[in-house]
């Protein structure tokens, strides 16, 4: 069965970042991406690659599915 490619992926990046008392710039620097990329992920405009999603999960010490959810599930 194919995976639906058009599903909307919600995420908890903003909540986790704010609870860690980090700015977007600080998280961006830790992930090796731009601040705009973190902003786009948080607002749901950009879905990160699997390596970046895994890096975020590792950084916040959470399972990746706890940070990224399929909105249609």
Partner 1 sequence: MMTPRDPVDRATQRSILATAAGAAVFVAALLAIGSTSRPQLGLVLIVAVFAGLALATFVRNRRTHEGTDERARDNHRRAATVSWYVVGLALVATMAWTQVRQGVVAAEPYGYLLTLQLVSYAGTSVWRRWRGL
In the complex, the residues that contact partner 1 under the rule CB under 8 A are 8, 10-11, 28, 32-37, 39-40, 42-46, 48-49, 52, 71
Q: What is the CA radius of gyration of the chain?
A: 12
In the bound complex, what is the minimum distance in angstroms from residue 61's beta carbon to partner 1?
Answer: 22
In the bound complex, what is the minimum distance in angstroms from residue 25's beta carbon to partner 1?
Answer: 9
In the bound complex, what is the minimum distance in angstroms from residue 4's beta carbon to partner 1?
Answer: 16
């Amino acid at each position: 069965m194919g995976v639906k490619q058009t599903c909307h992926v919600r995420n908890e990046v903003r909540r986790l970042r704010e609870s860690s008392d980090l700015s977007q710039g600080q998280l961006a620097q830790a992930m090796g991406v731009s601040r705009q990329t973190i902003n786009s992920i948080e607002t749901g405009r950009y879905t990160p690659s699997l390596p970046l999603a895994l890096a975020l999960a590792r950084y916040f010490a959470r399972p990746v599915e706890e940070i990224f959810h399929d909105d249609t599930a």
